[in-house]
């Protein structure tokens, strides 16, 4: 019974397309009130006065909450790298544009929205600073430790000597803009209190993180907080930590003694719930005439707020990609009057790879070496910055198979030499990589006397197919048909799991689910072989097999019986087992990453500067693939996002008011169907016996990685113009 790996349709697909799947804002709750956030119109200063009289007199209004009348909370300050500072009506200070300064609660969304426009707010405004580039001289080392895998500074060998002895050198500055996540489902929370216990229906990537933070803020036990998120319409990092609107919903519900729903508007998604920060990165490479790297230096500066600390770890891929005798990286931040930035799909790697992979392409031009060949000559057989062996690595297979599919061997190296009529054709490529993260996780499996199984893990399905792949793991481990397995998630009453970010869900929760299924299967073993009435009585463990819902002898499959027969004779309605799994200590001794290669073709109009991506081939090796169909879907989505990163996406701040001006999907440009070309996805088979018992690395983050530099390199090949500042808009090519 091979179920893992099969391209099975999403088990929750029908519920989604028929509307039966309920997202956070759709949960039916009796007597619900609607909260609408009033956002600050300035980026720095204080709220001098709020005149709420007109709003309070408006029909249906229940309350107008502000710093003057909101209940006092605790533990609202952030802890760098883990939690965010919450702006939840505790003082009059304005720290960033669109910060919540009031919450209008009414008996309908329409009435609350109207009343919110009636507030008369006066500010004591101060001059805000939101631009990174003019403040680069203030770049400073992060104050807080970022973890052993993300050092603010790293040096190996003698970089100065390596650059001095190089026959060819490249030094360039690359920038990436502030970007905003924009999942289809806006952030939303419904809060319901019963005494001192609260239930939150929240659109989140981490129900247990929300539980823990709410408990701290309200000073109650974690067991008095229940968080439910059965469906999440995308998060991409923005829903990975808890933001202020969640607390505002809970605060209002407690203060008003009534359930309250808060849903962010699309405009409020721009500033209130993070975004990918702007980076300015300097890369310097040295190499021999034969193309062997002698030195790499990569320095990155990213934008941050003044009241929290978030670092975009753009130098991480540089430390893990190419073999070099000398390497130096550094990461700095500049504090600005903006909301707290946060992880966005492929955090660190996506921005860092644009810089290092563009620089490698520039070095290939300088040396007159094919860009793919240059990468192969500097392939790292061990993790470059630690010297650790890889848990597994199939990057060369990604290079070769993608290049063959793309037809890279036919590339003419001269920029502008490939044309289609008046259109200039460019071919570019880049490497992709992302860490293989594994975290502790738990799961519970129950085998029932009707021949079905219920498996639970308090994870989240953020649109990636977690419901489906966990059911596949359970079914294969138990020897049950897929339609006999129910997998449940999204509730903090279930076994604890990590947040769904960093490509860690499948690699962490999958082994826990497998372990619980194996443990409950072992219980069935004991019942069957210890029962004199069973056809497998007295059999040893390795003599038995589980398949098609039966336990039988390996040597004679006819000697067996259904699971339910074993349970019924034992007088049991069900048997259950829990498995708590921690990452193997062996992983600390290994470098663990997923790898890929992206090849892109662009058509550039030489008169108008318009860039169209006409073809992309991506090959990815990420350990064992749990579902070929959902994995391909993940990769397609990531590649499309990479096209947006290269050519479209940019959150534009107004320097006077400190506000993102293109705060809607009309002006914040993302790729539409007409922008998406033919995309070939190659899943490279890879066995990794070290990462976990199932060999899973995770595939959510890596597809965006490498796409932007592949397109930028293709634009150079088409035009001879090296664009080092994303996005690549037509004004930069004219």
Distance CA 413, CA 410 (A): 9
Burial of 499 (0-12, 13-18, 19+ CB in 10 A): buried
DSSP 208-265: HHHHHHHHHHHT--GGGEEEE-S-----TTTTSS--HHHHHHHHHHHHHTS-EEEE--
pLDDT of residue 191: 98
Identify the band that residue 205 occupies on the pLDDT scale cut at 50, 70 and 90: very high
pLDDT reported for residue 147: 84
What's the rounded Cα separation, in Å, for the pair 370 and 428? 11
- Judged by DSSP in three states, 137 sits in helix
Q: What is the mean pLDDT of the chain?
A: 97
Going from the C-alpha of 283 to that of each of 172, 372, 440, 553, the distances in angstroms are 6, 19, 36, 62
pLDDT computed for residue 392 by the predictor: 98
Q: Enter the tokens of residue 17.
A: 């397309």
How many percent of the chain have pLDDT more than 90? 97
| Distance (Å, whole) CA 129 – CA 127 | 7
Provide the token pair at 169: 């050198």
Question: In sequence order, which residues have a C-beta less than 8 Å from that of residue 556 and are 6 or more positions away?
Answer: none
Find the mean pLDDT for residues 495-521. 97
Residue tagged active-site, from 83, 362, 476, 701: 701
Confidence (pLDDT) at 592: 97
Q: Band the pLDDT of 138: cuts 50, 70, 90.
A: very high
pLDDT above 70: residue 80:
no
Domains 136-178+276-437+589-732 and 441-581 share a fold: yes
User: Which string of DSSP letters, residue by residue, matches 554-585?
Assistant: SS-TTSEEEHHHHHHHTT-SEEEEEEEE---G
User: What's the pTM?
Assistant: 0.97
Share of residues in the chain with pLDDT > 70 (%): 100
CA dist., res. 183 & res. 275, Å (int): 12
In the numeric block, the tokens 């690395």 are attached to: 697
Where do the structural domains in the chain lie, given as residue ranges?
A: 17-127+184-234+239-269, 136-178+276-437+589-732, 441-581
**pLDDT at residue 601, rounded to an integer:** 98
Read off the pLDDT band of 327 (50, 70, 90). very high
Which pLDDT does position 1 carry in this prediction? 58
pLDDT at position 83 is 86
Instruction: Please give the CATH superfamily to which domain 17-127+184-234+239-269 belongs.
Output: Aldehyde oxidase/xanthine dehydrogenase, a/b hammerhead (3.90.1170.50)
Angstrom distance (rounded) from CA 139 to CA 332: 6
Q: Is the pLDDT of residue 476 over 90?
A: yes
Task: Please report, for residues 111, 231, 265, 528, the alpha-carbon distance to residue 186 in angstroms, rounded to integers and kept in the order given.
Answer: 20, 13, 7, 51
Note the pLDDT of residue 81.
64
User: Which residues, at least 6 apart from 228, have a Cβ–Cβ distance to it below 8 Å?
Assistant: 27, 199, 200, 201, 202, 207, 490, 491, 492
To the query of whether residue 26 is one of the catalytic residues in this protein, the response is no
What average pLDDT does this structure show over 608-621?
98
Mean pLDDT of 487-504: 97
Neighbours of 387 (CB within 10 A): 9
Q: What are 545-570's pLDDT values in tens digits? A: 999 999 999 999 999 999 999 999 99
pLDDT tens across 276-289, in order?
999 999 999 999 99
Q: Indicate if the pLDDT at residue 92 is higher than 70.
A: yes
Q: Give the Cα separation of 321 and 317 in Å (integer).
A: 6
What's residue 542's pLDDT?
87
CATH, domain range 136-178+276-437+589-732: 3.30.365.10
Phi then psi for residue 519, to 5 deg, are -70, -40
Q: What's the rounded Cα separation, in Å, for the pair 728 and 719?
A: 13
192 φψ region: left (φ > 0), alpha (ψ -120 to 50), beta (else)? beta
β-bridge partners, 447: 453, 575
Q: What is the pLDDT of residues 348-398, one digit of tens each?
A: 999 999 999 999 999 999 999 999 999 999 999 999 999 999 999 999 999
CATH architecture of 441-581: 2-Layer Sandwich (3.30)
pLDDT value of residue 2: 87
Averaged over 201-221, what is the pLDDT? 98
Stretch 173-184: mean pLDDT: 97
User: Which one-letter DSSP state was computed for residue 626?
Assistant: S
| pLDDT of 652 higher than 80 | yes
DSSP states of 421-471 as a string?
TTEEEEEEEEEEEEE-----EEEEEEEETTS-EEEE-----SSS-HHHHHH
Show Cβ contacts of residue 307 under 8 Å, excluding neighbours closer than 6 positions.
78, 85, 95, 340
Q: How far is residue 712's CA from residue 643's CA, in Å, rounded to a whole number?
A: 10
SS3 45: strand
Alpha-carbon dihedral 232, 237, 240, 243, rounded to 10 degrees: -100
Distance CA 447, CA 326 (A): 56
Tell me which residue has tokens 């097999």.
545
């Amino acid at each position: 019974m091979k179920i893992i790996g099969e391209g099975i349709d999403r088990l929750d697909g029908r519920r989604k397309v028929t509307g039966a799947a309920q997202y956070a804002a759709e949960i039916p709750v009796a007597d619900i009130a609607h909260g609408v956030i009033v956002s600050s119109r300035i980026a720095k200063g204080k709220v001098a006065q709020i005149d709420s009289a007109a709003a309070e007199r408006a029909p249906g209004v229940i309350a107008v909450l502000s710093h003057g009348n909101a209940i006092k909370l605790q533990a609202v300050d952030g802890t760098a790298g883990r939690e965010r500072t919450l702006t939840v009506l505790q003082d009059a200070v304005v720290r960033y544009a669109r910060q919540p300064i009031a919450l209008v609660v009414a008996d309908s969304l329409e009435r609350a929205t109207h009343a919110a426009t009636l507030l008369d707010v006066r500010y004591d405004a101060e001059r805000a600073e939101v631009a990174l580039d003019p403040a680069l001289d203030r770049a400073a080392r992060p104050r807080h430790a970022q973890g052993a895998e993300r050092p603010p500074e790293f040096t190996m060998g003698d970089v100065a000597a390596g650059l001095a002895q190089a026959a060819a050198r490249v030094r360039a500055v690359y920038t990436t803009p502030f970007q905003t996540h924009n999942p289809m489902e806006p952030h939303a929370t419904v809060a319901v209190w019963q005494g001192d216990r609260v239930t939150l229906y929240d659109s989140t990537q981490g129900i247990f993180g929300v539980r823990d933070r709410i408990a701290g803020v309200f000073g109650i036990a974690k067991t008095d907080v229940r968080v439910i998120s059965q469906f999440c319409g995308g998060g991409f990092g923005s829903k990975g930590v808890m933001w202020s609107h969640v607390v505002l919903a809970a605060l209002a519900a407690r203060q008003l003694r009534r359930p309250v729903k808060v849903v962010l508007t699309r405009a409020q998604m721009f500033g209130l719930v993070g975004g990918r920060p702007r980076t300015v990165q300097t890369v310097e490479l040295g190499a021999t005439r034969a193309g062997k790297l002698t030195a790499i230096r990569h320095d990155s500066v990213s934008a941050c707020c003044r009241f929290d600390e978030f670092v975009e770890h753009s130098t991480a891929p540089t430390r893990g990609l190419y073999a070099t005798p000398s390497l130096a990286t550094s990461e700095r931040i500049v504090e600005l009057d903006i909301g707290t930035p946060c992880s966005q799909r492929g955090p660190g790697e996506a921005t860092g790879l644009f810089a290092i992979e563009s620089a490698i392409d520039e070095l290939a031009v300088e040396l007159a070496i094919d860009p793919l060949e240059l990468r192969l000559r500097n392939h790292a057989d061990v993790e470059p910055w630690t010297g650790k062996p890889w848990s597994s690595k199939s990057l060369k297979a990604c290079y070769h198979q993608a290049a063959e599919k793309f037809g890279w061997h036919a590339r003419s190296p001269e920029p502008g030499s490939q044309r289609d009529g008046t259109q200039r054709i460019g071919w570019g490529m880049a490497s992709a990589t992302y860490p293989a993260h594994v975290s502790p996780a738990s799961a519970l499996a129950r085998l029932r006397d009707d021949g079905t199984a219920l498996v639970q893990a308090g994870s989240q399905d953020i649109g990636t197919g977690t419901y489906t792949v966990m059911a596949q793991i359970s079914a294969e481990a138990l020897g049950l048909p897929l339609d006999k397995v129910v997998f449940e998630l999204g509730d903090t009453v279930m076994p604890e799991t990590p947040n769904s970010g960093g490509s860690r869900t499948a690699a962490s929760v999958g082994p826990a689910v497998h372990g619980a299924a194996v443990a409950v299967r072992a219980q069935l073993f004991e019942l069957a072989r210890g029962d004199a009435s069973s056809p497998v009585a007295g059999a040893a463990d390795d003599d038995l097999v589980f398949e098609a819902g039966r336990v039988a002898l390996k040597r004679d499959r006819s000697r067996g019986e259904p699971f339910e027969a074993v349970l019924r004779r034992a007088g049991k309605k069900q048997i259950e087992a829990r498995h708590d799994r921690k990452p193997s200590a062996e992983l600390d001794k290994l470098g663990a990453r997923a790898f890929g290669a992206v090849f892109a073709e662009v058509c550039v109009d030489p008169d108008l500067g318009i860039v169209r991506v006409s073809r992309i081939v991506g090959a990815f090796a990420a350990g064992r693939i749990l579902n070929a169909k959902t994995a391909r879907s993940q990769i397609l989505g990531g590649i499309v996002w990479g096209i947006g990163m290269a050519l479209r996406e940019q959150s534009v701040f107004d320097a006077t008011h400190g506000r993102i001006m293109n705060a809607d999907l009309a002006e914040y440009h993302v790729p539409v169907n007409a922008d998406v070309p033919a995309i070939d996805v190659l899943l490279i088979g890879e066995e990794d016996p070290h990462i976990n018992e199932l060999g899973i690395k995770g595939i959510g983050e890596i597809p965006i990685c490498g796409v932007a530099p592949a397109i930028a390199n293709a634009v150079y090949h088409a035009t001879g113009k090296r664009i080092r500042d994303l996005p690549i808009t037509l004004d930069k090519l004219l």
